[in-house]
Amino acid sequence: MSDFIGSIYEWFSKNKRELPWRKTKDPYKIWLSEIILQQTRINQGTKYYSSFIEEFPTVKDLAAASEDKILKLWQGLGYYSRARNLHFTAKHISNKLDGKFPEDYESIIKLKGIGAYTAAAIASIAFDLPYPTVDGNIYRVLSRYFGISTPIDTTLGKKKFYEVAKEIIEQCADPGFHNQSLMEFGALQCTPKSPDCINCPIAVSCFARKNDQINELPVKSKKQKQIKRYFNYYYIDNGEFTYLQKRTGNDIWKNLFQFPLAESEKLLTDDEVLNYNVPFLNGVKINIKNILKIQKHILSHQIIYARVIQVETSGLNNFPENFIQVNKKDISKFAVSRLMEQFITELNIG
C-alpha cells in the first residue's frame, strides 16, 4: 500500500497542473471550483472560475448578486441547477452563518448542492480532514490497481470503493494532497482509454495491467436511457423588438431565457410547422420569414431536436406573463442556454 501511495505522490509532485484553486485553502474558492468542474473540462472551467472570483471574491459577494447575473456569468457551462444551488447556499452561508463556511464534514454536506464528493474535497483540502473524494477518476484507479470488479453504479459498488478509499486516506498525513494526487493521476495518467501503462509508476503491481483487464475495469452495470424532445422556437421579429420567454418549472434550463417555445410530440416537417397550432400566435397576423435547420442538442438524459421559426408581426396582442418584449440589441444581456446562444448567433441578433 505504501508503495502505491508513495509512487502516486511522487508522480503528482512532478506532473500536477498548476491550477488557481490549488494555491488556496479558502473553502469558498475550493467549493466554487468543485461546483464549476462538475461535468466541465479543466480548461473551460478555469476561465469560469477566474470570472466568478473576479466578480464575486467572497461568499457574501456571491450571495448579494442577482440570480440573473449569476446565470449570465454561468452561461455556456450547462447543468444550470449547479449555479442556482450555488447562489442558494451562498445566501445561506452569508445570512445564517455570518459568511463563515462550515468547518466540519457533517455541516458541509448538509449545504444545498453539495454531495459526498464535494464535501470531502472541501473538508480535506481546506480543513485537512480525512474524507476521501471518490469520483470517476478515483473509481478507475482503485478498480484497476486492486482489481475491484463490483459495478461502480450500484449501492454495493459505491460502498466498496468508499471503504477502500477511506482505509487509504486514514493512513495519510495530508488528506488534501492525497485526494488531489489520486484525482490528478486518474485524470492524466490512468485515463479511461489508452492509459500510458508503459510509463505508469504503479504498473508493475497493477491488477488490471498484469491481467490484461485495462479496458474491462471499472465495471458499470447499466446505461442511462435518454428521452427525445422536439422544440420549436419562434423568433418573433417586431421591428427593433422581439420576445423572450423565461423557462419555469422543474425542467432543464430553469430560469434561463429563450425564444417563445412550442414543444411538439414528434419532429415536425416544414409543412407541419406552417400549420402547427401555436397558442401565443393565435389571432395574430404573421409572416413566416425563415425556418432554420434542425439542431440536435445532446444532454445527459435528453436529446433535443430544435429549430427556430422566424416570423414577422406587428406585435403580440396578449402574451403570457413569462414573456417579455426586449430590444434586439439588448438580447445578449439575458442568460440563455448554449443551444439558444447558437441560434441567436446564427440569426445575427444583438
Considering the domain boundaries, does residue 220 fall inside one? no
Considering 183, 210, 237, which residue would you say is the last residue of a domain?
210
> What's the mean pLDDT when you consider all of the chain?
95
- Write down the pLDDT at residue 1: 67
Condensed to tens digits (0 to 9), the pLDDT of residues 21-31 reads 999 999 999 99
Q: Give every CB contact of residue 34 below 8 A, 6+ residues apart in sequence.
A: 117, 118, 121, 122
pLDDT band at 346 (very low <50, low <70, confident <90, very high): very high
Q: At residue 237, does pLDDT exceed 70?
A: yes
Q: Are residues 238 and 201 in the same domain?
A: no
Rounded to two decimals, the pTM is: 0.87
Residue 32 and residue 51 in contact, taking contact as beta carbons nearer than 8 Å: no
Considering the domain boundaries, does residue 336 fall inside one? yes
Considering the domain boundaries, does residue 215 fall inside one? no
Output the domain CATH number for residue 36. Answer: 1.10.340.30
What would the grid cell of residue 238 be? 417586431
Q: Are residues 164 and 243 in the same domain?
A: no
Residue 310 and residue 291 in contact, taking contact as beta carbons nearer than 8 Å: yes
Number of domains in the chain: 2
For residue 246, what are the β-bridge partners? 257
d(CA 169, CA 137): 16
Considering the domain boundaries, does residue 218 fall inside one? no
- Which range of residues forms the domain containing residue 288? 227-347
Q: Are residues 202 and 248 in the same domain?
A: no
Q: What size, in residues, is the chain?
A: 350
Considering 167, 185, 210, which residue would you say is the last residue of a domain?
210
pLDDT band at 298 (very low <50, low <70, confident <90, very high): very high
Positions annotated as catalytic residues are 34
Considering the domain boundaries, does residue 292 fall inside one? yes
d(CA 125, CA 131): 10
Average pLDDT rounded to a whole number, residues 105-123? 97
Condensed to tens digits (0 to 9), the pLDDT of residues 134-154 reads 999 999 999 999 999 999 999
Considering the domain boundaries, does residue 217 fall inside one? no
Considering 185, 210, 235, which residue would you say is the last residue of a domain?
210
Q: Are residues 161 and 259 in the same domain?
A: no
- Write down the pLDDT at residue 72: 97
